[in-house]
Copies of this chain bind each other. A is one copy, B any other.
């Protein structure tokens, strides 16, 4: 690796381009793949306005329409696409992956590393969990509203060299990037909230956190769901503190009412990461023999809603 490592961003949406900007500030040569926005990015780069960090707009060193167009494997591939059933993410990045390429996943969900690890068992795999509020506002244009921390770790575990090198780049760019010895545990911790709140908000018609908690039995139901996720996490070898569900509710109560990411996807007619966020939790429960009747109910109804969209169109007409 040179002093200016090359990072290829695959999935240069709001989150991918935000971390691309930070890596660029940290000294990396950032390249981007974008089928839909390549022309705009070549013309004027990414426009990113940050409330905390000022103007993060930047122009990548290279812009590709397809991963197949990348000539030299980069030092890092940062994959930041939605995890959806019909997208083979390993096949997507394969043309750009060389023998030493470090793969970095900045994506939601549980067990989302497995297919990448299986496809590239000899490449270092860094799993990342983003705590960031950034929204796309147009083609290659986004607004960073708050936070930014990216927690990383090697998959399946460890805080090895690849994670350290990636963390150093991001830290140099001005964003916190702690390295965890057990990133999968961190993923489960995040899943406790996500697997419960995201699908419920959708099947409640695209409801805010506050509407969910204020419904009759709402708060108790969310605690029950989160407790079931904790039971699965513990069975999978990642025990959570007993107080986590109640504390998460307390934290959510302190925030203004908001639509979580899956609710926003639903309300805007975009595909939803149901399998990554909840389906994989259900499968882990089955694998470890954990009873999750409430989570399974939410999962099944969410899949029915997806079936409804496939059979009868989106109920919102979007």
Contact = CB atoms under 8 A, between A and B. Distances in A.
Interface of A: 200, 203-208, 210-212, 214-218, 221, 267, 293-294, 296-301, 303-309, 311-312, 314-316
B203 A307 contact: no
A307 B221 contact: no
A315 B315 CA distance: 9
A138 B280 CA distance: 48
Contacts of A306: 215
A301 to B, nearest CB: 5
A219 to B, nearest CB: 10
B308 A204 contact: yes
B214 A307 contact: yes
B200 A307 contact: no
A308 B206 contact: yes
Nearest to A299: B217
Contact of A305 (B207, B267, B296): B207
8 contacts: A206-B315, A207-B307, A208-B311, A211-B307, A215-B304, A297-B298, A298-B301, A316-B316
A211 B294 CA distance: 21
A214 B297 CA distance: 16
Nearest to A207: B308
B309 A205 contact: yes
Contact of A211 (B208, B298, B304): B304
A129 B4 CA distance: 76
A208 B312 contact: yes
A228 to B, nearest CB: 10
A209 to B, nearest CB: 11
A215 B293 contact: no
A315 B211 CA distance: 13
Contacts of A300: 215-218, 221
